[in-house]
Amino acid sequence: MAAGTALAKRPSVKSKAAVAIDAETGAEVFGKSADEVRPIASTTKIFVAMAVRHKGLDLEGWTEIVKSDAKAARGGARTRLDVGLQFNNKDLLRAMLMASDNRAPTALGRAAGLAPDELIAEMNAVAKRLGLKKTKFTDTSGLRGNVSTPREMALALRAALEDDVLREIMHDTQEEVVSKNGKHKVEYTNTNTPLITKRFDVIGGKTGFTDPAGYCLVSAAKIKGRSVVLAFYGAREKQDRFDDFNAVAGWIEDGAQGAPVTLSAPSEARREKAAAPLKATGRVKKKKRP
């Protein structure tokens, strides 16, 4: 087949920048401006999660939402974590990763012993440890600043999904979070639409949006037994990133004609990881009153 014919079979995506990588090797399967530095909006929160986990966040502990958390979240989407209420730290991870609540990052940082500037420094340290040279953080939520590239965000998600707790949460579809006093209940539904629709076997991921960043999605999926991480940035419409995900995932499922590499078969270790049952089932879990 001629090179031009092969390239013509590659999917067209509306996102301004995108990449799909083989999770086993990191090799690019699909790319469009994959190394372009762009705002990353709430996909930032993947790094918050890795940072607080690295600092030994007590998953069973409780943290109160305070006024400084509300201040840090100004300009973002509506929150349901009210000031003065205490929430379980694992539930705060759920609120942050499943529904992108902007009060959760600084609260989780505080629970891990990090002031906001220290949390930002630790997020940058996570990027440095992962060898992500174009990823920079100046804000805890992604509302103001923070940049990376589709490729580096795909690599970051791949690293985050190695953490069983984060993998479980990002795979979960719906949860009910209850405050420590038992009086405040919040139902969170995962904003990662491909996970909900189940057309593909989605492992987990994160969405994001700000005016400068556009609509964003970074998500991993198992396609024909192989794990692929896909990232889409700068979409103009909310649905475009999900349509792009489906287009590229479908192309890979059909054989990825025109791809620069052949997807590798997963190693034994990754096969075992992929086969392990996830703790999250997608059911709403009712939490007992403490």
CATH code where residue 24 lies: 3.40.710.10
Q: How many CA atoms lie within 13 A of 286 on its CB side?
A: 2
The DSSP element (H or E) to which 159 belongs, if any, is helix 150-160
3-class SS at 205? strand
154 domain-assigned = yes
Q: Is 262 part of a structural domain of the chain?
A: no
**Does 277 reside within a domain?**
no
Q: Provide the pLDDT for residue 170.
A: 98
Tell if the pTM clears 0.85, that is, is over it.
yes
What is the per-residue pLDDT for 79?
87
pLDDT in the model for residue 265: 64
Q: Residues 176-187: pLDDT tens digits?
A: 999 999 999 999
DSSP state letters, 169-194: HHH--EEEEE-TTS--EEEEE-S-HH
142 three-class SS: coil
Residue 67 lies in a domain: yes
- Tell me the residue ranges of DSSP E strands in the chain: 17-22, 28-32, 38-39, 62-64, 86-88, 147-148, 174-178, 185-189, 201-210, 214-223, 226-235
Q: Which residue is listed with tokens 């940035």?
A: 233
Sequence-separated (6 or more) residues with CB below 8 Å from residue 152: 127, 132, 133, 134, 135
In a domain, 155, yes or no: yes
- Residues of the chain whose pLDDT is less than 50? 1-8, 274-290
Range of the domain at 64: 11-255
Residue 38 resides in a domain: yes
Question: Which residue type is seen at 52?
Answer: V
Q: What is the pLDDT of residue 258?
A: 82
Structural domain contains residue 265: no
Structure tokens at 96: 């942050």
Instruction: Count how many domains the chain has.
Output: 1
> pLDDT tens digits, residue range 217-231?
999 999 988 999 999
